[in-house]
Structure 1
């Protein structure tokens, strides 16, 4: 992803208060500048001086900073760039101001600032138009996930071709990156890596986190008894099992009981029926006596 092979892609670096994604964002800017690409930065959260200070070792002659940090809401008479200019027409105009043979990369620092002042549907519409228009080579946005509702974060991330969620690591300056990448065919690939960023903004992938933990052996799994902590007993003792087997159930007929019921013995009664003269029974029409 740092090599920039995903032309027309939309990358979101998602961070939180526990770990900032700005260093990783600077790494992507540095990588694009080293590829001799023109990089346009919509700066809402930090000043141009602070951004360039973080890119000391980068070739910043192709870096174009659109200053929205001084007056982001246009309160002065002559604002440089405001949040209300976040539209397809205005962004295309900004990119085309510079004459550079290679397509430009647009960096939004940050999407959270824009989402706080423009409705999420309008932001998503502009981002979708940027992807289809092809005016820029790629779009990279920084998103502070803990500043928004989950629905807003999910809607914006759904538009992205790649999402990198950063979190603090366990050792030193290492961090954990959870990567979700969508291919053009719609296939979603997920990965997780431990990385660190050097002083020259190069990213070093150290390893993949191990979440497996100590694995239980088959003997340990067999020893687990799910009925151990129940308040009632599900098992029968040998005495209880023997008594259960000897118990005669009321709906089970023994051989002797069946014989007694099927064969009448001495003293058993019978029901005899003799039709009288009033019984007008017709063999051909059994229902003749009904007044139908």
Structure 2
């Protein structure tokens, strides 16, 4: 599924790369830029966390003319007199005005590096509203954003993930064998599909899928340790042998009546006794009020 999203065959929408301090998703983000430029698309980058030189490092120089870097790395909060781009310009109206300056007519890919920086300075509802407007299409063909999930509360991360058409959560692989990408894709009909893949990124920023984890969604140790037996070192035996189990099954429990015992207890022979009560004349018994003789 990851190669399909990289090549744009899934189509448009909002792709969210979710990483953490254990594994950075910026190289995968650059792979998306590389793939878009290879398709001869125009790419706009809102850069907050790395410089323009660092972002372009490794990309094909022949396609740099189609890459527009809006520099928010130097002065993201607009403290100088003439900032290039600030975090407060992250709104649909100002972004549209910014994109028109490049005089580009066909739809382009928008890359946000990163959403975490924006969410630290702009309220979540405003950011989500802008993302919702951007992913609808029009001038923007697709939106690709990087989010550091361990920097935010779970509810905030969930709100942003809910807007995304595809969420790619990356984590380190086992024994240094690449990384693992868990991809969740939502179709227009509402169907949700998930997949986990082991991938690696080459020097030319191409992504190679190596396979699938042996146990999706879990992290395994290099050597599987056998489960400890809690009865291994006891001084007495908790298990029964076959003969002991057979003798146990044949044992008659004292509170369980056999068929013969039930018959003997319920059978009334000629010597059985009965208690008969015949009221005499001194008995004051009222059929309508049996408790009339009680002092209540």
TM-score bucket of the superposed structures, by smaller chain: 0.7 to 0.9
Displacement after TM superposition at 1:21 (Å) = 2.1
Displacement after TM superposition at 1:240 (Å) = 7.3
Displacement after TM superposition at 1:118 (Å) = 2.1
8 Å Cα contact 1:227/1:234 also seen in 2: no
How far apart are the structure 1 equivalents of 2:31 and 2:265? 95
Stretches of structure 1 that go unaligned for 5 or more consecutive residues are: 213-223
**TM-score by structure 2 length?**
0.77
How far apart are the structure 2 equivalents of 1:37 and 1:248? 84
Residue number in structure 2 paired with 1:262 = 267
Residue number in structure 2 paired with 1:144 = 148
Q: State yes or no: 1:63 paired with 2:67.
A: yes
Displacement after TM superposition at 1:280 (Å) = 8.5
Residue number in structure 1 paired with 2:247 = 242
Displacement after TM superposition at 1:246 (Å) = 4.4
Residue number in structure 2 paired with 1:220 = none
How far apart are the structure 2 equivalents of 1:136 and 1:199? 28
Q: State yes or no: 1:159 paired with 2:160.
A: no
How far apart are the structure 2 equivalents of 1:63 and 1:208? 32
8 Å Cα contact 2:116/2:147 also seen in 1: yes
Query: SS state of the match for residue 12, structure 1?
Result: strand
Q: How does 1:32-181 map to 2 (within 5 A)?
A: 32-132=36-136, 134-169=138-173, 174-181=178-185
Displacement after TM superposition at 1:172 (Å) = 6.9
Give the alignment partner of residue 6 of structure 2, picking from 2, 6, 11: 2
How far apart are the structure 1 equivalents of 2:172 and 2:94? 36
Displacement after TM superposition at 1:108 (Å) = 0.4
Query: SS state of the match for residue 37, structure 1?
Result: coil
Q: Deviations over 1:64-107 (max 9, x none)?
A: 22111111112223222211221222222222333323202111
8 Å Cα contact 1:57/1:200 also seen in 2: no
Single out whichever of 193-202 and 43-52 deviates more from structure 2: 193-202
Return closer, same or farther for 1:289/1:181 CA change in 2, 3 Å cut-off.
Answer: closer
Query: SS state of the match for residue 249, structure 1?
Result: coil
**TM-score by structure 1 length?**
0.77
8 Å Cα contact 1:106/1:139 also seen in 2: yes
Give the number of aligned pairs.
275
8 Å Cα contact 1:24/1:197 also seen in 2: yes
How far apart are the structure 1 equivalents of 2:178 and 2:143? 26
Query: SS state of the match for residue 153, structure 1?
Result: helix
Query: SS state of the match for residue 132, structure 1?
Result: coil
Return closer, same or farther for 1:31/1:258 CA change in 2, 3 Å cut-off.
Answer: closer
